[in-house]
Amino acid sequence: MNASTTKRLWRDLPRPFQVLAPMEDVTDTVFRRVVAASGRPDVFFSEFTGVDGLCGPQSQRIGRRLQYTPAETPIVVQIWGNNPENYATIVPRLTQMGFSGVDINMGCPIRKLTRKGFCSALIENRSLASEIIHATRENAGPLPVSVKTRIGFRTRTTEAWIGFLLEHGLDALTVHGRIASQMSEGDADWKAVAECVRLRDQLAPETVVIGNGDVRSQAEVARRVEESGVDGVMIGRGIFENLYIFRRDGSSFESVPVIDRVMALRRHFRLHRRQWGDRRNYHALKKFVKMYMGAGDHVADFTDAVLHSRDYAHGAQLIEDYLASLRNGKEVAGNETDG
Ligand SMILES: Cc1cc2nc3c(=O)[nH]c(=O)nc-3n(C[C@H](O)[C@H](O)[C@H](O)COP(=O)(O)O)c2cc1C
């Protein structure tokens, strides 16, 4: 790894760049590989992974969440936790694993975690947030260090909190335009994101700012960049409605032939089986079915059947049968041998 080039990940990306948001139980290596083949973002993130777990007896099992393939690069590893020593211990290992950057989660609003002071609760514990960032930066070697956060915890504290973070020499900062207590309610406030860009210009011109919240199309990426001045946009739930959202030509979900979407679903099933075997519950795969198939009447019977399938073999057979029926008189586009 070349230290000077790695450190530059964020700075060298095209402007504006696009990032697939970290999403627990969604953006694992399997989904990221399908996204990479369907319409890739400029940067991927891992799901958030606890530093305490990575330093404990279950580290091997937990570390499986961090597996990735070259197709998913550049990939930033996202970590969370409250013990700076564990960051100091684990970050050098993450560096060795070839990640392109380390991101610290200071934005997750889930009560189970914030009750114990984790993630977005750090917005209200600046001294610990500072210690965590220092421990990470001191041990990250050539890796750029970033933070993903919100614009406040119980109330909006954009200027104070983001200004504080910007004093830490971060390589990048992702701002989700909501406060933690909002969870996913209401609209993301992109005016607040624009304010973060202004703060960055004054306080830390070297820090790259990524805006996040409610972006659902390429047209919206362009609009949000224009309005706020962010360097890049992170998209999360928008990919649930359009797997092809990162295609720069603005392809709509409906413009992609059903057969291609079924092939993507098949690829996901196969990769999942190969990656996780029986270690992950088959039924957890089902949440992806609607993502690939959409809600149209013409796919409803198939979607319904897969959602009611008993196990992997049953689901996979339904997919093969549906593909066979679609192929009647139709050429299959894409790479069938894949996955
Ligand atoms: C199912 C799900 C899981 C998420 N997991 C994470 C996570 O692991 N780390 C993180 O920083 N944010 C996580 N988020 C928040 C997203 O990264 C993103 O900030 C949020 O969804 C807003 O962006 P969007 O409107 O584009 O979805 C998650 C969101 C969802 C819906």
Residue 329 has pLDDT above 80, yes or no: no
What's the gap in Å between 281 CA and the centre of ligand 1? 22
Asked if 183 and 322 sit in the same domain, the reply is no
> pLDDT tens, 210-248?
999 999 999 999 999 999 999 999 999 999 999 999 999
Of 241, 269, 288, the one marking the end of a domain is 241
Separation CA 213–CA 35 (nearest Å): 19
Higher-confidence residue of 247 and 4: namely 247
Query: pLDDT-based confidence at 8, cuts 50/70/90?
Result: confident
Mean pLDDT of 254-270: 96
Quote the pLDDT of residue 328. Answer: 85
Q: Which atom of ligand 1 has the smallest separation from the CA of 107? A: 11
Mean pLDDT of 42-64: 95
Mean pLDDT, all residues of the chain: 94
Query: Best of 113, 237, 240, 241 to mutate for ligand 1, by most ligand atoms within 8 A of CB?
Result: 237
What's the gap in Å between 321 CA and the centre of ligand 1? 34
What's the gap in Å between 111 CA and the centre of ligand 1? 15
Separation CA 93–CA 105 (nearest Å): 18
- Residue 249 lies inside a defined structural domain of this protein: no
DSSP E strands, the chain: 17-20, 44-45, 49-50, 75-80, 101-106, 145-150, 172-176, 208-212, 232-235
Asked if 302 and 189 sit in the same domain, the reply is no
Judge contact between 230 and 209, C-beta under 8 A: yes
- Burial class, 241, CB count within 10 angstroms (exposed 0-12 / middle 13-18 / buried 19+): middle
Residue 172 has pLDDT above 50, yes or no: yes
Query: Best of 23, 51, 112, 216 to mutate for ligand 1, by most ligand atoms within 8 A of CB?
Result: 23
Quote the pLDDT of residue 305. Answer: 98
Of 241, 274, 301, the one marking the end of a domain is 241
Q: Which atom of ligand 1 has the smallest separation from the CA of 176? A: 19
Separation CA 36–CA 339 (nearest Å): 13
Judge contact between 263 and 332, C-beta under 8 A: yes
Is 119 an annotated catalytic residue?
A: no
Mean pLDDT of 306-310: 97
Radius of gyration of the chain (CA): 20
- Residue 251 lies inside a defined structural domain of this protein: no
Quote the pLDDT of residue 246. Answer: 98
Query: pLDDT-based confidence at 338, cuts 50/70/90?
Result: very low
Asked if 101 and 139 sit in the same domain, the reply is yes
Q: What CATH number does residue 212 fall under? A: 3.20.20.70
Q: Which atom of ligand 1 has the smallest separation from the CA of 119? A: 11
Three-state DSSP class for residue 221: helix
Asked if 151 and 51 sit in the same domain, the reply is yes
DSSP E strands, 136-240: 145-150, 172-176, 208-212, 232-235
Task: Indicate the pTM of the whole model.
Answer: 0.95
Mean pLDDT of 312-325: 97
Nearest protein Cα to ligand 1, atom 21: 236
Asked if 18 and 138 sit in the same domain, the reply is yes
Asked if 104 and 181 sit in the same domain, the reply is yes
Nearest protein Cα to ligand 1, atom 13: 23
How far apart are the two ends of the chain, measured CA to CA in Å? 29
Separation CA 149–CA 334 (nearest Å): 38
Three-state DSSP class for residue 232: strand
Separation CA 220–CA 179 (nearest Å): 21
Dihedral of CA atoms 132, 136, 138, 144 in degrees, nearest 10, equals: -130
Mean pLDDT of 190-212: 98
Nearest protein Cα to ligand 1, atom 22: 213
Least confident of 46-50, 98-102, 293-297: 293-297
Mean pLDDT of 252-265: 96
Q: Give the list of residues 6+ apart from residue 28 with CB closer than 8 angstroms, or none.
A: 47, 65, 275
- Residue 339 lies inside a defined structural domain of this protein: no
Residue 336 has pLDDT above 50, yes or no: no
Asked if 133 and 270 sit in the same domain, the reply is no
- Residue 107 lies inside a defined structural domain of this protein: yes
What's the gap in Å between 186 CA and the centre of ligand 1? 15
Of 211, 241, 271, the one marking the end of a domain is 241
Asked if 77 and 215 sit in the same domain, the reply is yes
What's the gap in Å between 236 CA and the centre of ligand 1? 6
Q: Residue 282 is part of which domain span?
A: 258-327
Q: What is the count of structural domains for the chain?
A: 2
What's the gap in Å between 108 CA and the centre of ligand 1? 8
Nearest protein Cα to ligand 1, atom 30: 23
Residue 273 has pLDDT above 70, yes or no: yes
Asked if 165 and 301 sit in the same domain, the reply is no
Peptide bond into 144 cis (omega under 30): no
Judge contact between 196 and 157, C-beta under 8 A: no
Protein residues with CB under 6 Å of any ligand 1 atom:
21-24, 26, 47-48, 78, 105, 107-108, 148, 176, 212-215, 235-238
> pLDDT tens, 132-167?
999 999 999 999 999 999 999 999 999 999 999 999
Mean pLDDT of 16-30: 98
Three-state DSSP class for residue 205: coil
Least confident of 31-40, 118-127, 324-333: 324-333
Quote the pLDDT of residue 6. Answer: 62
